[in-house]
Amino acid sequence: MKINLIIVLFVSMIALSCNSKSEQTTEDNSELIEITKAQFESEKMVIGEPLLHPFSEVVHVTGTITPAVDGHAQVSLAMPGKINKIYYKPGQLINKGAALFEVSGNEFIDLQKEFAESMAIISRLKNDYLRAKELYSEKIVTQKDFTYAESNFFAENAKYKALKIKIETMGLDISKIEKGEFYSSYNLKSPINGFVSYINVAIGQYVEPQQKIAEIIDVNSFLLKLSIFEKNINKIKTGQSVVFYLNGNKSVKYKATINAVGKTIQTDSKSIECYAKIENPTNINMVNNQFIEGEVHSGVDSVLSVPETAIINSENDAYILMFEKEKNKSYYFKKIKVQTGRKANNYVELKEQLPSVKLLVNGIYNIQIE
C-alpha cells in the first residue's frame, strides 16, 4: 500500500509540473503578436534591421526675410524740385535705369545755367593761362601774373568738372546744355531692378533732397536674417544648412545656407544676427520683413535608427515589433517599448540598443498592439 501511495504521489507531482510548464508556454506565447504570411504579403510588410543614419544637431531659429544691401534702394532728389509725373505705382516691377519720376524746378534750371556760364568762362581762362605760361617762359611777365592766371583757370576748371558730373548723373546730354539748350525737367531713374515698395510723394509736391520719396526692393536678393541666441552662437558657422518655413506652414519647407555670422549682440533681444542665402528665391512667394521660423543643422553624427514606419505610437509611448520566430504559416513578433530621439529623412533615432537586430520596419500601421 505504501508503495502504491508513493507511486500515486510521484505521478501527481509530474502531472502538476507538466501543467505548470504548459501554462507558462501559453503565457509566453500570448505576449507575441502573430501575423500570418498571407497578411504579411498583402500589407507589403518588411523585416529589416536598425542601421546607422546621419543626424544633425538642430538649432531652432526665428527671423525675417530681408533684401541684401545691394538689393534695397531708397530714392531721393539730389536737389530741391517739384514732382511733375509719377511713372510707377507701388507693387510694380521696375528695371534699373527706368524713369520713376519727372522732376522740375528753378534749382535745376540754375544748375544748367551755371554750367553753361562756367564753360564760357573756362574757355577764356584757358586762353589767358596758356598765354601767360608762354610769356612767363620768355621772361616777359612776372611769376605773380602767371600764378594768378594759372590759379583762376584751375579753379574754374574744377567747378566746371563738378557741374558736369552732376548733370551727367541726371542722364542729361551735356552737349545740348553747352549750346544753351536747357532742359525744363529731368527723369529720376531707378538705381536697381526690383519692385516699387512704396511711393511717398504726390504730383505737384515740392521735395527737399533729404526726403525719401520711394523705395525699391529686389526680391531676387532676399536673404534670411536670423536671430541666434548667445548660448547657441558657437554652434553656428558659415556653410551650414537651414530649413525654414513661412506663415507657420511647416508642411512646406525651404532651404538656405548660412553665409554670414554676426559679431554683435543686439541689446534689446540679446541675440546675434546671422544671414543665410536662400536657395531658388524666385520660386518662393516672399515679402520684405516677413516672419520665418526654421532650423539650423549644425553638427552631424551617425546613430542607431529605424525608419519612421517601424514605430508604433500608443498614447505617449513608442514601440517596435521585434521578430521572434517563424512557425508554419505565421510570423511572431514581440512588442518592445523604445526611447526615440531625433527625426530626419524619414528615420527615427533610437536612444538604446535593441536585444535583437530584426524587426518589422514597414506595414506596421494596421497592427493593433493594445
C-alpha–C-alpha distance, residues 305 and 348, integer Å:
5
Same structural domain, 277 and 151: no
**Chain segment 111-131, per-residue pLDDT in tens:** 999 999 999 999 899 999 999
Q: Checking DSSP bridges between strand 99-104 and strand 46-48, what pairing results, if any?
A: unpaired
* Residue 229 shares a structural domain with residue 132: no
φ, ψ (nearest 5 deg) of residue 362: -150, 150
Which among 236, 265, 299 is the end of a domain? 299
d(CA 54, CA 21): 46
CA distances from 47 to 1, 111, 332, 355, 363 (A): 61, 85, 12, 15, 10
Same domain, 107 and 213: yes
Q: Are 297 and 234 a contacting pair, CB within 8 Å?
A: no
Tens of pLDDT, residue by residue over 314-364, are 888 888 898 999 888 999 998 888 988 888 788 888 888 776 678 888 887
Looking at the structure, tell me whether residues 239 and 255 fall in a common domain: yes
Find the mean pLDDT for residues 54-59: 80
pLDDT > 90? residue 182? yes
Query: What are the pLDDT digits (tens) for 117-166?
Result: 999 999 899 999 999 988 988 888 899 988 999 999 999 999 999 999 99
Phi-psi region of 105 (alpha: psi -120 to 50; beta: other; left: phi over 0): left
pLDDT at residue 195, as a whole number = 96
Domain count across the chain: 2
Same domain for 189 and 225?
no
Question: pLDDT at position 268, please?
Answer: 85
For residue 16, what pLDDT is reported? 38
Write down the pLDDT at residue 369: 64
Give the lowest-confidence range in 54-63, 102-111, 230-239: 54-63
Look at residue 30 in the predicted model and tell me its pLDDT: 57
Residue 368 has pLDDT above 80, yes or no: no
Backbone angles phi, psi at 180, to 5 degrees: 90, 10
Specify if 244 maps to a domain.
Answer: yes
**Mean pLDDT to the nearest integer, 50-77:** 90
pTM of the model: 0.64
Distance linking the first and last C-alpha atoms of the chain:
54
Residue 355, pLDDT score: 67
Q: Which range of residues forms the domain containing residue 253? A: 57-69+218-299
- Which of 217, 246, 270 terminates a domain? The answer is 217
Query: Among 102-116, 166-180, 295-309, which is the least confidently predicted range?
Result: 295-309
